[in-house]
């Protein structure tokens, strides 16, 4: 029975998980709004640098030699894998619990900024470009991030209850926690493979059309 409790979260913490998801959704939404609004406050030079970067990406996409599938997969896995690692540490450390909310809000801000910039730069074509090339991957990314973050927050709450409550003498479900985080990491890994397989093809066709 004790070994089993190392794998399974107590059923009473399902509500904690749901509340954690709601908190992270609110943080994500705040980040999305902040990131999209921030684009409108950027000065001319910052916007010019972004446009130069977009033009450069168009050039190397047309050339086909510099944006490799391996590089896309590596960058995606590094970014998302590090996020999962940080959430695991935050869940174990407890005192890092608020950092999970901050990290999710920051990811929302990046997504909102990217969306806001492309819509401002490309108008209605930017909306189509986002829906086809970014939105499908963003959905997987957001779901895995919310799952990882909510799991970390729930596990932290279990530890807090044990330390300060003093009544729960059941084993801490550390193996279950690490297993759930491994599932989130595998989702990010599959996302990296999916991006590597489709992004170069999509960008090579959609980006020149959007920039015309």
Domain ranges of the chain: 19-54+80-211
- 58's tokens: 């168009």
pLDDT over 70 at 44, yes or no: no
Q: Which one is predicted more confidently, 25 or 200?
A: 25
Residue 29 is predicted with a pLDDT of 95
Q: pLDDT tens, 18-30?
A: 999 999 999 999 9
pLDDT over 50 at 63, yes or no: no
Residue 4 is predicted with a pLDDT of 63
Q: Which one is predicted more confidently, 10 or 209?
A: 209
Q: Which residues contact 170 (CB under 8 A, 6 or more apart)?
A: 5, 10
CA dist., res. 170 & res. 168, Å (int): 6
pLDDT over 70 at 55, yes or no: no
pLDDT over 80 at 34, yes or no: yes
Residue 65 is predicted with a pLDDT of 47
Count of Cβ atoms closer than 10 Å to residue 73 Cβ: 19
Q: Please tell me the total number of residues recorded for the chain in this structure.
A: 212
- Rounded to an integer, the average pLDDT of 164-183 is 80
Q: Which one is predicted more confidently, 121 or 43?
A: 121
Percent with pLDDT over 90 in the chain: 34
Residue 60 is predicted with a pLDDT of 47
pLDDT over 60 at 141, yes or no: yes
Count of Cβ atoms closer than 10 Å to residue 53 Cβ: 10
Residue 160 is predicted with a pLDDT of 83
């Amino acid at each position: 029975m004790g070994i089993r409790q190392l794998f399974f979260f107590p059923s009473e913490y399902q509500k904690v998980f749901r509340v954690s998801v709601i908190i992270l959704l609110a943080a994500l939404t705040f980040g999305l709004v902040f990131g999209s609004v921030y684009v409108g406050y950027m000065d001319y030079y910052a916007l010019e640098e972004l446009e130069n970067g977009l033009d450069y990406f168009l050039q190397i996409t047309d050339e086909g030699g510099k944006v490799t599938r391996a590089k896309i997969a590596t960058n995606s896995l590094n970014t998302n894998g590090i996020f999962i690692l940080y959430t695991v540490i935050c869940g174990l450390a407890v005192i890092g619990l608020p950092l999970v909310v901050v990290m999710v809000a920051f990811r929302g801000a990046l997504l909102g900024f990217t969306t806001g910039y492309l819509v401002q730069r490309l108008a209605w074509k930017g909306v189509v470009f986002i829906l086809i090339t970014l939105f499908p991957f963003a959905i997987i990314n957001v779901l895995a991030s919310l799952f990882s973050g909510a799991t970390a927050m729930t596990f932290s709450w279990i530890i807090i209850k044990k330390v300060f409550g003093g009544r729960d003498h059941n084993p801490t479900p550390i193996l279950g926690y690490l297993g759930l985080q491994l599932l989130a990491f595998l989702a990010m890994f599959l996302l990296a493979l999916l991006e590597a397989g489709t992004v170069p093809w999509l960008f090579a066709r959609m980006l020149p059309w959007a920039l015309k």
